[in-house]
Chain A
Amino acid sequence: MDLSSFAPEQQCRATLLGLVQAIKVTSKTDKKFRELVAKKDFTICICIRTENIGRVYTFKGGKVTSKSGKDYTTDVVMEFNDSRDAMRMFVPWRDYLDVINMAKLFKMGASGNETLAVHFTDILSAIFDNRVKYGIKMPDGTMRYTNNTNGGPVFVYVKDGKIIRITPMDLAEDDAEPWTIKARGKEFTPTKKVTVSPHTQGIKSTIYSKDRILYPMKRVDFDPNGERNPQNRGISGYERISWDEATDIVANEIMRVKEEHGPGAIMNGTGSHHTWGNLGYWLSCRIRFFNTIGTTYVAHNPDSWEGFYWGAMHHWGNSIRLGSPDTYNTVEDALQHTDMIVFWSADPESTSGVYGAMEGTQRRLWAKELGIEFVHIDPFYNHTAALLGGKWLANNPGTSNAMALAIAYVWMQEGLYDKDFVEDKTEGFAEWKEYVLGNEDGIPKTPEWQEPETGIPAHDVRALARKWGSKKVYLAAGGIQGFGSAGRAATGSEWARSMVCLMAMQGIGKPGVNMGCLQQGTPIDTRFFFPGYAEGGLSGDYTGTGVGINMYQRMPQVMTMNPVKQKVPRLRIPEAIMDGHTTGYPTDTTQIEGQFFEFGYPAPGHSPIKMYYKYGGSHFGTMNDTNRYARMYRHKNLETVINQSIWMEGEAKFADVILPACTNFERWDIGEFASSGGYIHHNYNQCNHRVITLQHKCIEPLGESKSDFEIFKMIATKMDMGAYFTEGSSELEWTKRLFYGTDLKDVTTWSKFLKKGYYIVPPPKEEDRDPVSWRWYYEGRKKDVPEMNPLPADTTKFFEGLQTQSGKIEFVCNSLKRFAPDDPERPVMTKYIPSWEGTHSGELYEKYPLQLITPHSRYSFHTMMDGKDSHINDIVDHRVEIDGYYYWIVRLNDKDAEARGITQNQIVEVHNDRGSVLCAAQLTSRVPKGTVHSYESSALYEPIGEPGESPDRGGSMNVLTPSRPIIKKSHSTACNSCLVNIRVWEGE
Chain B
Amino acid sequence: MTTQDTKAKWNLVIDVDKCENCNNCFLADKDEYCGNTFPGYTEEQPRHGHRWIDIKRRERGSGSLIDVAYLPTMCNQCGDATCVKAAKNGEIYQREDGIVIIDPVKAKGKKELVKACPYGHIWWNEEKEVPQKWFFDAHLLDAGWKEPRCVQSCGTGAMQSLKVSDSEMASKAEREGLEGLKPEIKNKPRVWYKNLHLFMKEHVAGSVVADANGVTDCVDGAEVTLKQGGDVVASLKTDWFGDFKFDKLEPNSGTYSISIAAEGKSYSADFELKESVNLGVLKLS
Chain B residue with Cβ nearest A142: B143
B18–A365 CB distance below 8 A: yes
- How many positions in chain A have a CB within 8 Å of any CB in the partner chain? 57
Known: A139-B144, A196-B24. A459 touches B218 (CB 8 A): yes
Chain A interface mostly: mixed
Bitwise interface map of B from 249 to 263 toward A, beta carbon under 8 Å scored 1, else 0: 000000000000000
A460–B241 CB distance below 8 A: yes
Among the stretches B31-39, B72-80, B99-107, B227-235, the one at the interface with A is B31-39
B152–A167 CB distance below 8 A: yes
Chain B residue with Cβ nearest A448: B215
Assess whether B285 is interfacial by the CB under 8 Å rule.
no
Assess whether A239 is interfacial by the CB under 8 Å rule.
no
A168–B35 CB distance below 8 A: no
| B216-247 interface (Cβ within 8 A of A) | 216-218, 220, 240-243
| B187-218 interface (Cβ within 8 A of A) | 207, 209, 215-218
B20–A349 CB distance below 8 A: yes
Assess whether B173 is interfacial by the CB under 8 Å rule.
no
A205–B155 CB distance below 8 A: no
Known: A393-B64, A925-B59. A165 touches B243 (CB 8 A): no
Q: In the assembled complex, how far is the CB of residue A627 from the closest CB belonging to chain B, in whole angstroms?
A: 30
Chain B residue with Cβ nearest A447: B215
Give complex CA distance A526, B144 in Å: 36
Give complex CA distance A551, B66 in Å: 50
Assess whether B63 is interfacial by the CB under 8 Å rule.
yes
Assess whether B40 is interfacial by the CB under 8 Å rule.
no
B143–A139 CB distance below 8 A: yes
| A428-466 interface (Cβ within 8 A of B) | 447-448, 457-460, 462-464
Q: In the assembled complex, how far is the CB of residue B62 from the closest CB belonging to chain A, in whole angstroms?
A: 4
Give complex CA distance A202, B153 in Å: 11
A358's partner among B27, B156, B218 (CB-CB below 8 A) is B156
B21's partner among A201, A394, A462, A877 (CB-CB below 8 A) is A877
Give complex CA distance A201, B20 in Å: 16
Q: In the assembled complex, how far is the CB of residue B24 from the closest CB belonging to chain A, in whole angstroms?
A: 5
Assess whether B48 is interfacial by the CB under 8 Å rule.
yes
B48–A202 CB distance below 8 A: no
| Cβ contacts under 8 Å, B24 to chain A | 196, 198, 201, 358
Chain B residue with Cβ nearest A871: B30
A877's partner among B31, B57, B63, B143 (CB-CB below 8 A) is B57
Assess whether A821 is interfacial by the CB under 8 Å rule.
no
| Cβ contacts under 8 Å, B217 to chain A | 459, 462-463
B155–A925 CB distance below 8 A: no
B55–A876 CB distance below 8 A: yes
Known: A167-B28, A458-B215. A198 touches B156 (CB 8 A): no
Known: A205-B47, A925-B59. A463 touches B242 (CB 8 A): yes
B31–A166 CB distance below 8 A: yes
Assess whether B281 is interfacial by the CB under 8 Å rule.
yes
Chain A residue with Cβ nearest B21: A877
Chain B residue with Cβ nearest A195: B155
B215–A926 CB distance below 8 A: no
Assess whether B22 is interfacial by the CB under 8 Å rule.
yes
B66's partner among A358, A381, A447, A875 (CB-CB below 8 A) is A381
B157–A362 CB distance below 8 A: yes
Give complex CA distance A191, B217 in Å: 43
B27's partner among A195, A201, A463, A869 (CB-CB below 8 A) is A201
Known: A165-B36, A365-B157, A389-B67. A463 touches B28 (CB 8 A): no
Assess whether B121 is interfacial by the CB under 8 Å rule.
no
| Cβ contacts under 8 Å, A871 to chain B | 27, 30-31, 34, 47
Give complex CA distance A750, B59 in Å: 52
Chain A residue with Cβ nearest B210: A459
Assess whether A164 is interfacial by the CB under 8 Å rule.
yes
B66–A392 CB distance below 8 A: yes
Q: In the assembled complex, how far is the CB of residue A353 from the closest CB belonging to chain B, in whole angstroms?
A: 13
The 6 A-B pairs with the shortest beta carbon distances in the complex, nearest first, are A358-B155, A201-B27, A463-B218, A387-B20, A925-B62, A386-B68
Known: A167-B149, A392-B65, A462-B217; 7 extra A-B contacts, CB below 8 A, are: A193-B152, A201-B24, A201-B153, A391-B64, A459-B217, A875-B27, A926-B68
